[in-house]
Amino acid sequence: MVADDGTFSGTSEAVFILGLLSNKLQAPATTNPCQQFYTGSLLGQSVVVAISGIGPEASALCSTYIAECASNVKDFIYVVRAAVCFTQLGGALNAPGDCAPHGFTTQTRIGDIAVTPFSVNWQCKLASWNEQCTGYPNICTYPTEEAGPLVRSLYGQCVFSSKTAANTALADEVLAAAKTPLFAANVLKLQADFNATLLAYETTYWNLTAAGMGVNYPVLPAWTGPRLLDYTQSAEIDAQFFFSGTPWDMVARNYTALTLNLANNSTLTQYDVTAVNAEEGIGVSAALDAHNTLTGMPKIKYTFVRGASDYLYAPPLEVSPGVWEDNPAVPPTNFDTQYLFAIQTTSTLILTFFQLRCQAAGNSASTCAYTLPALP
Ligand SMILES: *[C@@H]1O[C@H](CO)[C@@H](O)[C@H](O)[C@H]1NC(C)=O
Ligand SMILES: *[C@@H]1O[C@H](CO)[C@@H](O)[C@H](O)[C@H]1NC(C)=O
Ligand SMILES: *[C@@H]1O[C@H](CO)[C@@H](O)[C@H](O)[C@H]1NC(C)=O
Ligand SMILES: *[C@@H]1O[C@H](CO)[C@@H](O)[C@H](O)[C@H]1NC(C)=O
Ligand SMILES: *[C@@H]1O[C@H](CO)[C@@H](O)[C@H](O)[C@H]1NC(C)=O
């Protein structure tokens, strides 16, 4: 399942998968609550390809529809690019505390991929009616919070950290596919696109970050493939707005750490994780977790595969001691190229996953081969 039919970024998130689907049949829109619903065969395997539409309500409705056929569902993968708030592990600038540059940590590159079954609703915060983020426009202040994502009385369920052996096993299979030479070879075909459309933007972004923070960020190596984040480092944080920058990134990482700690009895903090900002995970989780509690119904294994499509905040700039603002020199996000690239890397990972299953079923490498189709 994917979210966007192309309305937002100009490229349908299903475009490459649909281009490779044989025996493709589309169900009429009036027969189901998904935006588009197809059946067919992908590298020799029977699949449904659904476009849910954007937002948690749409993804929950479409997931619930699919859950009605649970006995026919082997695995459920929600695969999309994300508007991302993650630029580096643990963030570039941090509060509470001394509000100082975090220093160099692993940077996120456009096209990097998070594979995680966990999600948390960002909207579950501030319980009072009129509170603003204190300190604006100084971005190095930690937003005030009176409630938080554990307060169900006001917001309903916000944290989706339930884990079954099955759904981490599905994420593990996707992560393992990303470690194969087959994936490395498939994804290297995207290098020319990265160089042509993203390298200059990325270089400028990190140059501004390094200069603004006064921290040495080593020059990134030539792009040869996405970095994979797993479910011990990342969760999807859902918001139906684009929150502005660094303060909200701090909170997003705090919620992410909380969610992962609940999932795995760990003691992560906001400095240890990457938050992946998107909209649909909580809808899928609400629908499928509810389904999975039903007695007498086969459980559905699910995971999210999210590609990094943009940096959600500008490089911070210290304008006077202790006062940080968004660097106005940040180049604008190019939604067309950045989102397309994240769709290319995530589609390549899913297709490699299907290739490996195709080969494991005893088919020849040529039967299981594919080439990413040209855009229609
Ligand atoms: C992409 O750029 C890197 C340097 O960043 C270079 O090593 C590589 O050969 C280029 N690849 C293509 C396909 O242009
Ligand atoms: C980035 O910084 C390096 C080293 O300071 C410099 O050589 C390069 O020209 C800069 N590139 C851009 C696009 O600003
Ligand atoms: C739980 O934590 C352990 C130790 O860090 C890790 O090996 C394992 O993959 C984690 N499992 C989940 C579901 O996060
Ligand atoms: C969770 O971790 C704490 C200490 O880190 C330990 O005391 C407790 O037994 C663990 N609980 C489970 C269910 O593993
Ligand atoms: C989240 O932030 C709150 C408030 O600052 C703090 O008490 C808590 O320890 C943080 N949790 C994590 C997991 O970072």
How many A from CA of 223 to the centre of ligand 1?
7
pLDDT tens readout for residues 176-212 = 999 999 999 999 999 999 999 999 999 999 999 999 9
For atom 11 of ligand 5, the residue with the nearest CA is 254
For atom 12 of ligand 1, the residue with the nearest CA is 192
Q: Where does the pLDDT of residue 375 fall: very low under 50, low under 70, confident under 90, or very high at 90 and above? A: confident
How many A from CA of 177 to the centre of ligand 1?
24
- Whether 257 is in the pocket of ligand 5, judged by its Cβ within 6 Å, is yes
CA distance 4 to 55: 9
- Whether 106 is in the pocket of ligand 2, judged by its Cβ within 6 Å, is no
How many A from CA of 171 to the centre of ligand 3?
12
For atom 6 of ligand 3, the residue with the nearest CA is 232
Cis amide prior to 149 (ω within 30 degrees): no
Cα–Cα distances in Å, from 84 out to 53, 136, 243, 350, 363?
18, 22, 10, 20, 37
Residues with Cβ within 8 Å of 115's Cβ and at least 6 positions away in sequence, in order, are: 171, 174, 175, 178, 228, 229, 230, 231, 303, 304, 305, 306
Cis amide prior to 96 (ω within 30 degrees): yes
Dihedral, CA atoms, 114, 276, 110, 81, nearest 10 degrees? 80
Is CATH 3.40.50.1580 the classification given to domain 15-360? yes
- Whether 266 is in the pocket of ligand 3, judged by its Cβ within 6 Å, is yes
- Better pLDDT: 313 or 244: 313
- Better pLDDT: 372 or 84: 372
Q: Tell me, what's the pLDDT at 127?
A: 43
pLDDT tens readout for residues 349-359 = 999 999 999 99
Q: Tell me, what's the pLDDT at 96?
A: 73
pLDDT tens readout for residues 301-343 = 999 999 999 888 889 999 988 888 889 999 998 889 999 999 9
For atom 10 of ligand 5, the residue with the nearest CA is 254
Tell me what the mean pLDDT of segment 267-281 comes to.
91
CA distance 257 to 259: 5
Residue with token string 């940077």: 107
Neighbour count for residue 5 (Cβ, 10 Å): 17
Ligand nearest to the CA of 259: 5
Confirm if 306 and 117 have CB atoms less than 8 A apart. Answer: no
Q: Tell me, what's the pLDDT at 165?
A: 53
How many A from CA of 89 to the centre of ligand 2?
23
Locate the domains of the chain by residue range.
Answer: 15-360
- Whether 168 is in the pocket of ligand 3, judged by its Cβ within 6 Å, is yes
For atom 6 of ligand 5, the residue with the nearest CA is 254
How many A from CA of 311 to the centre of ligand 5?
24
- Whether 191 is in the pocket of ligand 1, judged by its Cβ within 6 Å, is yes
